[in-house]
Amino acid sequence: MVFDLHSHSNCSDGILSPQALVSRAKEKGVTVLALTDHDTIAGIEPARQAAADEGVTLVAGIEFSSRWGSREVHVLGLGLNTESPPLLEAIAQQQAARDTRAEAIGERLARLGIPDALAGARALAQGQVGRPHFAQYLVSIGRVKDEAAAFKKYLGAGKPADVKFQWPEMTQAIRWIHASDGIAVLAHPAKYPLTRTKRNALIADFADAGGEAVEVISGRQTNDITEDLAKMAETHGLAASCGSDFHRPDAPWQELANFGNLPERCRPVWTLLGYPA
């Protein structure tokens, strides 16, 4: 079995529809795929239907935005009951926060002489509006040459249209997931701007809060990172997860199933979901 337990569709900031995502997963050899869009489960049902047609097993998931201290961190929920009232309430809260942030970004860009950015981003988004949609709009009107330049000039950390938001605490995201019968996984810990000591502290706090697993592999990464995260997972009694964090077809470093195997020392998270090791 080939597991890819972190992917995105155009219901959040991915490019492909849920159906096209499942088809691509099948093409790349994935047998068990988790759709983990940011703060939404809108793509789960169409993905589930496509997965049944394609012969792919779909894991219902989500990626919650949260904070650890002053840092934004993401927590995946896997194996969710998508009809759970606590989950639906949490999503409504997160969506309201995202709408507020999008409006603030639009206002800041308007003050910079780009008056229709919010409307443009909404037109490009299939679901919720995120910073990538603003970046795409800025490219489409010729303000920047590409999306990377949009983040560098306008949307990235500390830039004029960077809007900080006080996401709920990481512990709250874990509680939402558990209330929805899911498994809580700390997403891509090596991608946060943390020292190794701080990263280890984050993983320790995640475990103490009841989290079950950490993403030991997130897309293409070095063996040193994988081994270090595997060691931290083992130290803190956490299972290990792996995923591409797929968003778009033209990013080979985040291609579906394009990552190595979990180290043998790891306890795979899918055993907690009922699959064999």
Per-residue pLDDT of 62-99, as tens digits, reads: 999 999 999 999 999 999 999 999 999 999 999 999 89
Q: Which sequence spans correspond to the domains of the chain?
A: 3-90+166-271, 102-155
**For domain 3-90+166-271, which CATH number applies: 3.30.470.30, 3.90.1720.10, 3.40.50.300, 3.20.20.140?**
3.20.20.140
What pLDDT band is residue 187 in, cutting at 50, 70 and 90?
very high
Closest CA to 177 of 249, 89, 69: 89
Q: What is the DSSP code string of 188-234?
A: -GGGSS--HHHHHHHHHHHHHTT--EEEEEESS--HHHHHHHHHHHH
End-to-end CA distance of the chain: 10
Containing H/E element for 240? strand 239-243
Q: Residue 277 has what pLDDT?
A: 84
Closest residue by Cα to residue 38 from 98, 80, 118:
98
Confidence of residue 256 (pLDDT cuts 50, 70, 90): very high
pLDDT tens digits, 161-178: 999 888 999 999 999 999
Six-digit token string for 105? 């970004």
Q: Which CATH class is domain 102-155?
A: mainly alpha
